[in-house]
Amino acid sequence: MILNKNIGVSDKLLFLTIIIVSLLGLTILYSATNENFDVVIRQGTRLIFCFFLMLFISSFDINRLKIISPYIYGTSIFLLIITLFWGHDSKGATRWIMIFGFSLQVSEILKVILPMMLAWFLSLSEDKEIDFTKLAISFLIIFLPISFVIKQPDLGTSLIILLCGIISIFLGGIKRTHIIYIFGLFVVVAPLMWKFLLLPYQKKRILTLIDPSSDPLGSGYHIIQSKIAVGSGGFFGKGFLNGTQSQLEFLPERGTDFIFAVFAEEFGFFGIMILFLLYLIIILRCIHITQKAKNYFSKILAGSITCIFVLLIITNVSMAIGLLPVVGVTLPLLSLGGSSLLSIFFAFGIMFSIHRRV
């Protein structure tokens, strides 16, 4: 088909499932924002833009994307510097910059750009085994942008970006001895991070995770209300627009961090299984593309995107049910937010680009 050749959307099942989940996201967002149609229109406009961006990226030859990966990475570092000095301040954090009237959170895009850069670097050599030098340079590539993100401050996103980078390194072919070294380093560094790096409110979030009732009206409020919403959904849910926790505004951050709790309350366990089935289809198609990728760069990048997609889902759902502290990770394709939507569709555009050469 001409569409497949020029645009690169050759995996129809993946393409259709992405559209279904995205439309489902707009629907649940309508309920999460108490029927605020303006918010839905704004998110729908972002969705249309990101949809065409995905098609545009998919039209690129993956080898061309490989060539420009260092330039994209360098541009993201430049934008992080701009954000640090001239970014938009919100609730004490400077994480956004205004570009042509649009707010952009560069750290969200880094979840895709960083694996691109690492895949490019690791594929420069014909030797597919990562030695100590490669490992050291890879971590420099990872920690350079993280050093700026931490200053925003945004420790949660910094940890997610770190995990995204580590995933790419593991897929690149890290040695077992290096894995042991990294684990040992983490054991040593973790107490130091707790002592010197974590801010008081971040420590409180982690401690509240263990016992939310210790601060039910403060740091534990989010987790308690989210767990109530998820549990009260039962098997079939309370019905669309009938969730009490969201409609009565007990549940905070309903459109972003805790949109899964809104979905669970209204559609119940049955609805969650349908949502997970749709996510599973996307994941399996991405795994298929990874397996069929023809070169080292494509395999690392496709595998990284697939793992990161899974990581974001697990992190957000775990936040909603109280298994992880609240770190500000949105649910892919469902949560409100332009930057997170942009990064996901950018990633899918890359997957379609890789699939064109399968």
pLDDT, one tens digit per residue, over 197-245 is: 666 766 666 666 555 555 555 656 778 888 888 888 888 889 888 887 8
> Which pLDDT belongs to residue 294?
84
Q: Which residues, 6+ apart, have CB-to-CB distance to 33 below 8 Å?
A: 39, 40, 254, 255, 336
> Which pLDDT belongs to residue 177?
77
Sheet of strand 93-99: strand arrangement: 88-90, 93-99, 102-104
| pTM flag (> 0.75) | yes
For residue 153, which of 215, 112, 107 has the smallest C-alpha distance?
107
CB 212 within 8 A of CB 326: no
d(CA 216, CA 220): 5
> Which pLDDT belongs to residue 2?
37
d(CA 246, CA 299): 41
CA torsion angle 45 46 47 51 (round to 10): 110
- With residue 67 as reference, give the H or E element that holds it: helix 62-86
**95 backbone dihedrals φ, ψ, rounded to 5°:** -120, -5
> Which pLDDT belongs to residue 201?
63
**90 backbone dihedrals φ, ψ, rounded to 5°:** -145, 120
> Which pLDDT belongs to residue 334?
92
Which residues pair with residue 90 across a beta bridge? Answer: 93
Averaged pLDDT, groups of 10, the chain, 358 residues long? 50 92 93 85 92 91 92 93 78 69 82 94 79 87 89 80 90 78 76 68 62 60 83 88 78 83 93 96 95 90 94 92 82 89 94 85
- With residue 235 as reference, give the H or E element that holds it: none
CB 335 within 8 A of CB 254: no
> Which pLDDT belongs to residue 104?
81
d(CA 357, CA 62): 8
